[in-house]
Amino acid sequence: MALRTKLAAYFLDLMNGSSSHCWDGLVLGALERASVLYRKGVEKKYRSYADHPERQAWLDAVVISLGNITVGGTGKTPAACMLAQRLQREGYRVALLNRGYRSQKEHDGAVMSDGRQVLLSAAEGGDEACLMARSLPGIPVVIGRERQRSGQMAIEQFGSQVLLLDDGFQHWQLHRDLDIVLVDATNPFGNGKVLPRGILREPMEHLNRAGLFLITKCDQASREAIDAVYSTLQAYNPDAPIAESVHRAKWCISFGDWNGMKGREKCQALPKGTKAVAVSALGNPASFEQTIRSFGYDVVQALRYDDHHHYGTDDMAAMKKAADAAGAVLITTEKDAVKLNPEWIRQYDLPLYVLGISLEITRGGEQIDKVLRHVIGG
């Protein structure tokens, strides 16, 4: 296990109240003090825009932000794809704005997809943006750290009427017409503390900015836990509607078939009950592993990498070793698959499969449509 992964696991245990070392108290004290400073910094930055709205950039389109209040994976990418398709079906010209985190084009910005073809690789435009581009025919995807610039690019080049700002809840530099906040049912708010003492990116009080809440991964939490999330959200923001969703596995096909972008109906699915090693570089790998199990596969091992990890040949060798030792196949996400070199897959003869996952609204779909119509004016 990498040192960074070990440290992350150690700090997560501390956040959850586990203490097994004599120095844990000192570390917790340092984290508490750092959290105070972090909170003050976040509040100061937020107030600099909230108290001076003239500092925000405005675009000649409806801007809808999807984000969260915690670090880690809440399902923003499948949620963004779901919402983009929902708006596309209603006849709107939609574009997705993604930061392109840790990509070559993140600083300058670029068109990842014009809606007809994917124009950049995952290394050039980022794993999330590449996945969105592959998944959303007819919907442009534009990347860049400066969302005003990428939004203007979408308006000028594609005539976009609605801009979806992926992971934009903390991007206060750009005015938005609606904030949709995603909450992970399996770990909604951690220990309720801000970074680095907890997993909150900003204080709970800031939930009052949301115009709509979407609770994700409801199939992986009890009804009691979900109801508790409702109570918390309504305490901080009694006016925002709340919807529920699940992450639904759609298919599991070989990497070769997936990379060839064949029609899914022409691909041979991996038989249920197959032993599998889960491979992922996600904010919440446990949720992905549970989705594999729920789709009928036997997860015998998990290879977990840091979120947005760039895979190399050492990783290929580790995957091959794990698969051979377990007598199992490898199952990964589409977000990871876009970063994998097909030549390496062939060179190491990896029995690699890709699990397609979509976000499905299970409760509150009418609420979502009502809010969208109100904001867009349809």
- Model confidence at 7, pLDDT cuts 50, 70, 90, reads low
Per-residue pLDDT tens digits for 36-92 = 999 999 999 999 999 999 999 999 999 999 999 999 888 999 999 999 999 999 999
Contact between residue 61 and residue 151 where contact means Cβ atoms under 8 Å apart: yes
Q: Which amino acid is at 178?
A: L
Alpha-carbon distance of 106 to 99, in angstroms, equals: 6
Section 104-108 average pLDDT? 95
- Give the position of tokens 């983009």: 84
Cα–Cα dist 270/300, whole Å: 16
Helical ranges in the chain per DSSP H: 3-15, 24-50, 76-89, 122-125, 127-135, 147-158, 223-236, 255-259, 285-294, 313-326, 334-337, 342-347, 365-376
pLDDT of the residue at 117: 96
C-alpha angle 98-334-365 in degrees, rounded to nearest 5: 65
Percent of the chain with pLDDT over 70: 93
Residues in Cβ contact with 28 at an 8 Å cutoff, skipping those fewer than 6 apart: 14, 19, 197
Q: Determine the pLDDT at residue 308.
A: 87
334, β-bridge pairs: none
pLDDT of 127 > 80? The answer is yes
Distance CA 188, CA 249 (A): 22
Q: Residue 2: pLDDT above 80?
A: no
In this predicted structure, the answer to whether residue 192 has a pLDDT above a threshold of 90 is: yes
Q: How far apart are CA 168 and CA 99, in angstroms?
A: 9
The size of the chain, in residues, is 378
Confidence band (pLDDT; 50, 70, 90) for 3?
low
Q: What is the pLDDT of residues 245-255, one digit of tens each?
A: 999 999 999 99
Q: Six-digit token pair at 84?
A: 């983009």
List the helix and strand counts (H, then E) for the chain: 13, 12
Q: Is the CB of residue 182 less than 8 Å from the CB of residue 79?
A: yes
Rounded distance between C-alpha atoms, residue 304 and residue 319, angstroms: 11
Nearest to 255 by CA among 336, 135, 354: 354
Read off the pLDDT band of 1 (50, 70, 90): very low
Q: What is the mean pLDDT of residues 87-112?
A: 96
pLDDT recorded at residue 74: 87
Q: What is d(CA 320, CA 332) in angstroms, rounded to the nearest whole number? A: 13
Burial status of residue 91 (CB atoms within 10 A of its CB: 0-12, 13-18, 19 or more): exposed
Q: What pLDDT, on the 0 to 100 scale, is given for residue 80?
A: 96
Q: Which residues pair with 290 in a beta bridge?
A: none
State yes or no: pLDDT of 296 exceeds 70: yes
Least confident window among 81-95, 256-270, 328-342: 256-270
Contact (Cβ atoms closer than 8 angstroms) between residue 193 and residue 12: no
Strands 329-333 and 352-363, by their bridges, are parallel
State the average pLDDT for the chain. Answer: 93
Rounded to whole angstroms, how far apart are CA atoms 108 and 209?
A: 30
What is the pLDDT averaged over residues 173-178? 97
Cβ atoms 73, 184 nearer than 8 A: yes
- Cα radius of gyration (the chain): 21
Question: Given the DSSP bridges, would you call strands 110-113 and 141-143 parallel, antiparallel or unpaired?
Answer: antiparallel
For residues 215-239, give the mean pLDDT.
97
Going along the chain from its start, the domains and CATH numbers come out as: 3-16+23-46 (no CATH), 56-246+360-376 (3.40.50.300), 248-357 (3.40.50)
Task: Find, among 358, 307, 352, the residue nearest to 136 by Cα.
Answer: 358
Over residues 204-231, mean pLDDT: 97
